[in-house]
């Protein structure tokens, strides 16, 4: 009995010793909890980043001893190098399948150039985007670097007017993006294929698109459109920078890229759904804004519009004919397929229009119209077949009725004679 009691008291003493608060849990409880839930929970201890004596957890003076390497809160300018100590180590990153060039990329970015080149600590460092103690993987929807959270994360700096003013960068970038076709798709419709900030600007090596090849950036998603645009007379021309001069608010384009290639017509962060009114309109980004006194481009735009409208009208008529045919129980096999192929031809014309190759555009539109004509011809043939079947069935029915009447008369005659 005494032995069991002694063992119980010893166990309680051990448990109490284990539960005794350390400096981490007692003084830095919130940070400790965040770290335990982070990707670094098993890989890093507090002293790996903050220094100090890991053996002196319950002695603040010893654990914070500068002689033991304690640095406390890491200076902003030293954060990239500190993170790079691990994230640039191939042996350490191999186990997690992570790239080892984030620090190298960061140094080439606008943020890194300003930090390391000018000593300006007002730019974003690792912890501004990834968090501090509670860092989560990018695929975690709670992570600040998750796709749908990137506008808010970037907006912490880029929506701060006081912070952006010294660099001549507008503070309404995120607000404009949220209202754009891309922003609505990403944040409202939750479309995982919609671009987030890093898709266009990059992540660690963030630079403004257009520094090298803006068409390549947009072409990551709009591949076929970019391919067609490169064939156009506009591709790479300096006169496609009209938006840079005519932008209503010059501050929206402080780096001079808003008027290059794709953005000359579509804008930058506030990209709207591209309508056909762009072909004949005269607003900034519309064809008529640059080609005000040139009739040839207007004629080309009108040709594209007229051909598109003819195909659309033909498709609407065909759709109505198909609806009628189905109500009449016509046998339909390939007609719906031909209609869908025409729709694809119409969709294909939109990126093809960026090439300004009128011959190719007209060929696709004519191909779509021919498919509509084939569908109409097939429907007419099927309609004639149905009409012929009805005439035949009506004749057969009349003949059967006549035979039945004659049979009835014959039976009556036989009964009368008998």
User: In this model, does residue 238 exceed pLDDT 90?
Assistant: no
Q: Which of 232, 265, 293 marks a domain boundary?
A: 293
- DSSP code, position 74: P
Pair (253, 323) in one structural domain: no
**Distance in angstroms (rounded) separating the CA atoms of residues 382 and 179:** 49
Domain extent for 282: 210-293
Q: Which of 293, 318, 338 marks a domain boundary?
A: 293
Examine residue 58 and state whether it is found in any structural domain, yes or no. Answer: no
Give the residue, 328 or 144, on which the prediction is more confident: 144
pLDDT of amino acid 2:
56
Pair (304, 371) in one structural domain: yes
Pair (305, 389) in one structural domain: yes
Examine residue 347 and state whether it is found in any structural domain, yes or no. Answer: yes
User: In this model, does residue 157 exceed pLDDT 70?
Assistant: yes
User: In this model, does residue 331 exceed pLDDT 80?
Assistant: no
| pLDDT mean over 64-80 | 89
Give the residue, 340 or 249, on which the prediction is more confident: 340
Burial 288-301 (b: 16+ CB within 10 A, else e): bbbeeeeeebbebb
| pLDDT mean over 313-326 | 82
Name 185's Cβ contacts closer than 8 Å, sequence gap at least 6.
Answer: 191, 193, 194
**Distance in angstroms (rounded) separating the CA atoms of residues 54 and 58:** 10
Q: What is the pLDDT of residues 282-296, one digit of tens each?
A: 888 888 888 887 788
Examine residue 118 and state whether it is found in any structural domain, yes or no. Answer: no
Give the residue, 267 or 166, on which the prediction is more confident: 166
User: In this model, does residue 396 exceed pLDDT 70?
Assistant: yes
Examine residue 175 and state whether it is found in any structural domain, yes or no. Answer: no
Examine residue 54 and state whether it is found in any structural domain, yes or no. Answer: no
Q: What is the pLDDT of residues 130-144, one digit of tens each?
A: 999 999 998 899 999
**Distance in angstroms (rounded) separating the CA atoms of residues 311 and 289:** 27
Examine residue 250 and state whether it is found in any structural domain, yes or no. Answer: yes
DSSP-assigned letters across all residues of 6-72: HHHHHHHHHHHHHHS--HHHHHSHHHHHHHHTSTTTTT--HHHHH-S-TT-TT-HHHHT-GGGT---
Pair (357, 312) in one structural domain: yes
Total structural domains within the chain: 2
């Amino acid at each position: 009995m005494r032995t069991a009691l002694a063992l119980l008291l010893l166990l309680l003493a051990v448990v109490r010793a284990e539960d005794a608060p350390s400096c981490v849990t007692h003084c830095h409880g919130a940070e400790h909890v965040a770290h335990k839930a982070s990707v670094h929970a098993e890989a890093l201890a507090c002293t790996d980043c903050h220094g100090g004596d890991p053996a002196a957890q319950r002695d603040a003076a010893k654990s914070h001893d500068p002689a033991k390497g304690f640095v406390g809160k890491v200076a902003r300018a030293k954060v990239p190098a500190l993170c790079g100590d691990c994230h640039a180590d191939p042996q350490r990153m191999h186990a997690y399948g992570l790239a080892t060039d984030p620090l190298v990329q960061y140094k080439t970015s606008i943020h890194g150039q300003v930090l390391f080149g000018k000593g300006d600590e007002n730019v974003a460092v690792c912890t501004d985007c990834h968090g501090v103690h509670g860092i989560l993987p990018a695929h975690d929807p709670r992570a600040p670097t998750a796709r749908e959270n990137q506008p808010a994360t970037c907006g912490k700096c880029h929506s701060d007017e006081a912070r952006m003013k010294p660099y001549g960068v507008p503070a309404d970038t995120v607000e404009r993006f949220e209202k754009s076709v891309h922003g609505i798709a990403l944040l409202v419709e939750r479309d995982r294929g919609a671009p987030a900030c890093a898709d266009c600007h990059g992540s660690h090596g963030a630079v403004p698109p257009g520094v090298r090849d803006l068409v390549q950036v947009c072409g990551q998603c709009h591949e076929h459109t970019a391919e067609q645009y490169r064939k156009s007379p506009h591709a790479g021309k300096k006169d496609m920078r009209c938006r840079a001069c005519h932008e209503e608010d010059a501050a929206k384009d402080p780096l001079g890229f808003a008027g290059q290639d794709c953005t000359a017509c579509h804008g930058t962060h506030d990209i709207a759904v591209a309508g056909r009114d762009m072909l004949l309109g005269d607003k900034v980004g519309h064809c008529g804004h640059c080609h005000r006194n040139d009739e040839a481009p207007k004629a080309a735009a009108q040709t594209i519009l007229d051909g598109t409208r003819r195909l659309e009208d033909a498709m609407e008529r065909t759709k109505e004919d198909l609806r009628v045919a189905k109500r009449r129980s016509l046998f339909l096999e390939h007609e719906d397929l031909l209609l869908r192929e025409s729709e694809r031809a119409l969709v294909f014309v939109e990126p093809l229009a960026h090439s300004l190759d009128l011959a190719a555009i007209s060929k696709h539109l004519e191909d779509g119209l021919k498919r509509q004509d084939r569908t109409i011809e097939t429907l007419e043939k099927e309609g004639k077949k149905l009409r012929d079947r009805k005439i035949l069935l009506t004749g057969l029915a009349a003949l059967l009725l006549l035979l039945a009447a004659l049979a009835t008369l014959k039976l009556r005659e036989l009964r009368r004679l008998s």
